[in-house]
Amino acid sequence: MRLARSAAWASILALGGSRTAAQSVIIRNTTPSVVVAHLKAHLVSQGFALESASDKLAMFTLDRGPIAQNSSRVLVVDVILEVQFRFKAKSEGLSVVATEEAVGNRGRPAEFRRTVDSAHDSLQRLLDATRAEIDSGVPPADTSAKRDSSPP
């Protein structure tokens, strides 16, 4: 499951993202820290890093590097993907809402953000898989294990 594809990023940033509804799920009998552990197990294997986490918000980032732009003024923009998960306790369980943004020139005066439309199906599948794992009692995968980078 890939949350992003390189070819789509240039067009997303050049054309601008439209605002779409965030993806969400309700998970019973859990806490934000348990959800973050499961999300981390999925996202770290795709190159994301957990940037911050609290009882209300978790943010994962992925440095996409320089992305060519379809513009005569700006040729290349450094892009970071931010995937945010917001947590809110409700009577029926923990509400988890996910959004993804491509951030150009992060931390610079010319910073800009675009909602990533292409990732919403993937985000919903990730949330559904996380809920299923937690509901079935499956522990989160060990993210401290190093991946084998040797050729097959």
Residue 46 lies in a domain: yes
Decide if 1 is inside a domain: no
Query: Which has the higher per-residue pLDDT, 94 or 70?
Result: 94
pLDDT at residue 16 greater than cutoff 70: no
Q: Is 65 helix (H, G, I), strand (E, B) or coil?
A: strand
Q: What is the mean pLDDT of residues 112-125?
A: 80
**Confidence at residue 78, expressed as pLDDT on a 0 to 100 scale:** 87
pLDDT of 106 reads 80
Residues 39-73 have pLDDT tens digits of: 999 999 999 999 999 999 999 999 998 888 777 77
Asked if the structure places residue 147 within a domain, the reply is no
Calculate what percentage of the chain has a pLDDT beyond 70: 76
- Residue, of 152 and 36, whose pLDDT is higher: 36
Residue 60, helix vs strand vs coil: strand
End-to-end CA distance of the chain: 21
What range does the domain containing 62 cover? 6-136
Whichever domain contains 122, its CATH number is: 3.30.530
Q: What is the mean pLDDT of residues 8-15?
A: 38
Q: How many domains is the chain built from?
A: 1
Q: Which of 139, 131, 43 is nearest to 84 (CA)?
A: 43
Averaged pLDDT of the chain:
80
Say if residue 136's pLDDT is above 80: yes
Residue 35 has pLDDT above 60, yes or no: yes
Is 28 a domain residue? yes
Q: Reduced to 3 states, what is the DSSP secondary structure of residue 90?
A: strand
Query: Considering the domain boundaries, does residue 144 fall inside one?
Result: no
* Beta strands 57-68; 49-53: pairing state: antiparallel
* 30 within a domain of the structure (yes/no): yes
141 within domain boundaries: no
As separate numbers, helices (DSSP H) first and strands (DSSP E) second, the chain gives: 3, 6
Angle, CA of 133, 55 and 51, to the nearest 5°: 85
